[in-house]
Amino acid sequence: MTTRTQELQARWDAALMPNYGTPPVALSHGRGAEIWDVDGKHYLDLLGGIAVSALGHGHQAILEAVSRQVAVLAHTSNLYLHEPGVRLAEKLLELLGAAGRVFLCNSGTEANEAAFKIVRRRHPARPRIVAAENGFHGRSMGSLSVTGKPAIRQPFEPYGAQVTFVPYGDVTALRNAVDGDTAAVFLEPALGEGGVIFPPADYLCSARELCDATGAVFVLDEIQSGIGRTGHWFAHQRAGVRPDVITLAKGLGGGLPIGACVGLGEFGATFRRGDHGSTFGGNPVSCAAALAVIETIATEGLLENALKVGSALAVGIGDVEHELLTSASGVGLWLRIELAREVSAPVEAAARGAGFLVNAVQPNAIRLAPPLVLTTAQAQKFVHALPSILDAAS
């Protein structure tokens, strides 16, 4: 008998481009960190739509904010302003604790495109950008050019920027690469798509110092790490460093599409009138959702929850003894499970079979980026199931 999932997969294959392959699950609805597929199978969502669904699924605060906004005004274009956009920009600056200005857009890659253009405006004569090997900044031609994964970048060369890629976390390599010709240093506070890898404690501060010494713009991509993922509003706050430009998306909208490029200090005023724009960017509905996300993180204590549940999850996984499991690491609800062999794909599939959505982020590593509302009891369910998941993948 054909399941509803199989039927949808066949129609997907016929109607959608093959860039994603055929997804293994057809999701239907969710509540908090629990989610169901179209055939009624239940999963614990330990990936949150890749670090997006910060409040989980079906959160009342988002439902109310979006419904209220869509009922009165869903779109204005950028010819007219609206209060949710103003309030969101003010709120982001307040959380950043810094003066600056915000450009609102629809996605992470667009936030990075805006950052890229700020860099060009700032340093029109500097040819080079420094970025990290295994870094990820998006799929558009600008964002892709600074993405340090050759397999996804090289097929679309050439790009407009000259980019030097350095090993992530290596201060000496960064020092050797950044000089007076460097327009910008583009980094993530921890590699997300690269496998949830945090750099040494002094790495971001060293990048800041190098940018100060050379005049390069320090762009920090907080698209995956921002909005509470690490138990801090922004991961750079944990590292005690201040970038020049910060890009945000993913968790910001809690599932609604929104991105933001924040220029701190003078970098907020680099664009001249007409330099950049977006028809849908920062639309009132997505801004209302983002305001609801931020307010709920604060009122429900979700930064504290991310630290508490994240550390219980990491410790619990670390205590599991299995020949396939090497270690668990990460900060807040952003974890890497390191495997002894390149078996992440079968582990992901076995987890799915057991009712857990996780991500084979690297051949030897699993990523967890669950909703920030995950409870300790839910985390423990995964810890208890992990040995049999690993057995099934062996």
- Contact residues: ligand PLP, CB under 6 A: 50, 107-109, 112, 136-138, 188, 192-193, 221, 223-224, 249
Residue whose CB is less far from ligand PLP, 107 or 362 = 107
Residue whose CB is less far from ligand PLP, 50 or 163 = 50
Q: Quote the least distance from Cβ 72 to ligand PLP, whole Å.
A: 27
Q: Quote the least distance from Cβ 229 to ligand PLP, whole Å.
A: 10
- Quick one: 43 exposed, middle or buried, by C-beta within 10 A (0-12, 13-18, 19+)? buried
The packing angle between helices 284-299 and 302-319, to 10°, is 70
Q: Quote the least distance from Cβ 135 to ligand PLP, whole Å.
A: 8
Q: Quote the least distance from Cβ 245 to ligand PLP, whole Å.
A: 13
Residue whose CB is less far from ligand PLP, 59 or 137 = 137
Residue whose CB is less far from ligand PLP, 223 or 303 = 223
Residue whose CB is less far from ligand PLP, 109 or 364 = 109
Residue whose CB is less far from ligand PLP, 210 or 246 = 246
Q: Quote the least distance from Cβ 117 to ligand PLP, whole Å.
A: 16
Distance CA 383, CA 319 (A): 9
Q: Quote the least distance from Cβ 247 to ligand PLP, whole Å.
A: 7
